[in-house]
Structure 1
Amino acid sequence: MKIILIRHGETAWNAERRLQGHLDIPLNAEGERQARLLAGALAAEPIDLIVSSDLQRARQTAQAVATLRGMPLQIEPGLRERCYGGFEGLLYSEIEQRFPAEFAAWQARDVDAILPTGKNCGESFRQFYARATTAILGLAQAHAGQTIAMVAHGGVLECAYRMALDLPLETPRDFKVFNASINRFHLEEGRLVLDSWGEVAHLQPAVLDELN
């Protein structure tokens, strides 16, 4: 079983470092271009199933891949980005000003820190990690022997990377997660194994690294 894990294309909020979380932001023009290039890069690859987060930035990216291949698109809400509660919709600088204690805990990688409530109720990183990895493994186990393309978010890709490399949740994120990047895993005895990370040769110019 093979998993092609893809981050959605760029949004306007990615470009200005505004936190999205569960807020439903569409791709910008660059993100749409990236999605087209991604679809072309995957056109000749054997893929049995295409699955996306239910947020539109992921759905738009996945739909470009599905449309070019003439395949249906399956939606999996478990692949959503982490919910950041009251942080959502704010620039990083605004989060630090409005919620200094919560911002400090977030930056210090307190994986059980409670986020302030906003339009949505925030998740701790531990809660989010459990949700995202359960969704990925559940899809993989339900489609044993197949190749699945999953289109999700920076945080979801981070969770998969940490699981595959057995990285503690508290360690800093010292690896990049690029928009519209291709990241390859396989399942071995029920565990994720990383095959390649951060394939972006199909994208020009260089893609934007951002958290969500």
Structure 2
Amino acid sequence: MTLTTAPQGATTILLIRHGETAWNAERRLQGHLDIPLNAEGERQAALLGAALAGEAIDHVLSSDLGRARQTAEAILCVRGATTALQVDPQLRERCYGGFEGLLYSEIAARYPADFAAWQARNVDATLPPGKNQGESFRAFFDRVTTAIVAHAARHSGQTLALVAHGGVLECAYRAALGLALDTPRDFKVHNASINRFAVEQGKLRLLSWGEVEHLRQVALDDLP
């Protein structure tokens, strides 16, 4: 999607998905479980930090889960920031309850009815309890979009980098484009991608989606 400029006076949000984890690579559901970046995720976070080093960013915030914090800290490190990272548990991924820690095939075998409702995008379906209490997609959507808009209002007219999770990015995309919650997710949500939004009068507007060019950079030492 082509980048456009945020309206004068609007808050600009750079919404970023954390770098890759081992569980991302094997399609194991994480949710609220605290899984760190793998080596590829650390590489992605470093490239992300370098790509944003020259951008005018007023504040860097993240989910309180480690994979998001590690990614946000890579942004701050390159910028030489001396202020502490701001964390917000409301920016966490959706809590999947008993699904967490399982492969998709394991979820289907262990919770067939709940898995079917999830795949059918029943946005009000409750998830089976596990280590954490699951939440419906509608409750998750309300939680994260409220948090994003609140941060924008708190820092009106500024530029924020918010590091969060794939589901959080999906919710912001749907809110900005007015997509129904029960429609399929037919858009990609890349690890360590930059996705730009403007927030004006409490409404999200999409400026660009899925910037990943920074992840394709090749180090000079790797050239033949």
What TM-score, normalized to structure 2? 0.90
Task: Describe the SS at the equivalent of 1:202.
Answer: helix
Q: Residue deviations 1:105-162, cap 9 Å, x none?
A: 0000000001000000000000000100011000000000100000000000000000
- 1:124-135 matches, cutoff 5 A: 124-135=136-147
Q: Residue deviations 1:13-47, cap 9 Å, x none?
A: 00000000000000000000000000000000000
Tell me which amino acid in the other structure corresponds to 1:50.
V
Q: Residue deviations 1:52-104, cap 9 Å, x none?
A: 00000000000000111122311011100000000000000000000000000
Cα deviation, residue 164, structure 1: 0.2
Tell me which amino acid in the other structure corresponds to 1:27.
L
Match of 2:19 in 1: 9
Tell me which amino acid in the other structure corresponds to 1:18.
R
- The 1-side partners of 2:88 and 2:68 are apart by 11
- 1:104-143 matches, cutoff 5 A: 104-143=116-155
- The 1-side partners of 2:69 and 2:132 are apart by 20
Match of 2:4 in 1: none
Match of 2:161 in 1: 149
Q: Following superposition, which runs of at least 4 residues in structure 1 exceed 3 angstroms of deviation?
A: none
Match of 1:173 in 2: 185
Q: Percent identity between the aligned chains?
A: 73
Match of 1:208 in 2: none
- The 2-side partners of 1:101 and 1:201 are apart by 40
- Which of residues 56, 70, 73 in structure 1 aligns to 2:66? 56
What TM-score, normalized to structure 1? 0.95
- Which of residues 88, 92, 102 in structure 2 aligns to 1:80? 92
Match of 1:162 in 2: 174
Tell me which amino acid in the other structure corresponds to 1:34.
Q
User: Where in structure 1 are there 5+ consecutive unaligned residues?
Assistant: 206-212
Task: Describe the SS at the equivalent of 2:215.
Answer: coil
RMSD between superposed Cα atoms in Å: 0.8
Q: Which entry has the higher C-alpha Rg, 1 or 2?
A: 2
Aligned residues: 205
- The 2-side partners of 1:17 and 1:170 are apart by 22
